[in-house]
Amino acid sequence: MSVHKNFKTLKVIKPNNLKKKTSPKSKKTNTLIRSDIDYGILPQAHTQRATDIWEELQYNLKFGKHDNAISVLLRVLLEFAIENYIERETVSSVHINDKLAKKFNKVLAHMLAEARIDPKYHEGLKKFENTEHLLSANTMNKYVHSKSFFPSDHHLKSMWNTLSEFVVICLKV
């Protein structure tokens, strides 16, 4: 074997489409919904508006530039997802005048009864109705209706990480 004396470096050329794998916790993202995860959400006639919002939150709206839009659309997406679940699964305990938190908890109870979520996740999501927790319907309402309540990308990402499984189940029924 011969070695060339002027040989200094070896360049390894990687294809452009080869992406570095990172663990989910170390992945930095500037959108609410990560684009490197396939959630299995497909456009359907009855969820078209929700999937349009989903795509905006996944690909178009960036933290630091669209924080208010992201916070409002997260609330709208959650509401549309809950309404879809109620209609498709005929959750009869929901009344027309129920507020978001009440609908959320009735859908949550239905999911638990139907074994769509495990009890541990159910307990974590029950915090949503409590207005003193970071993850609450009250917080989401403030994002929409309060002039002095400003969204934080860290808070929104935390809310999404907690709610994403619930939203996906609601949209896929």
pLDDT in tens, 63-105: 999 999 999 999 999 999 999 999 999 999 999 999 988 999 9
CB atoms within 10 A of CB 38: 6
Distances (CA, A) of 43 to 5, 34, 60, 135, 171: 60, 17, 17, 28, 10
Q: What whole-number distance in Å separates Cα of residue 93 and Cα of residue 85? A: 13
What is the pTM (predicted TM-score) of this model? Answer: 0.79
Instruction: Give the pLDDT band of residue 5 (cuts 50, 70, 90).
Output: very low
Tokens for 94?
A: 């929901």
Residue with tokens 């609450």: 136
pLDDT of residue 145: 84
* CA 144 – CA 69 distance, rounded (Å): 9
> 69: Cβ–Cβ under 8 A, 6 or more apart, which residues?
61
Mean pLDDT of the chain, nearest integer: 83
Q: Express each pLDDT in 10-43 by its tens digit.
A: 333 333 433 434 445 545 789 999 999 999 999 8
134 or 138, which is more confident: 138
Give the pLDDT score at 61. Answer: 98
> Where along the chain do its domains lie?
47-172
Query: What's the whole-number mean pLDDT along residues 47-65?
Result: 97
CA distance 65 to 110: 37
Give the pLDDT score at 133.
56
Q: Which of left, alpha, beta for 82 (phi over 0: left; psi -120 to 50: alpha)?
A: alpha
| Contact (CB, 8 A) for 112 and 101 | no
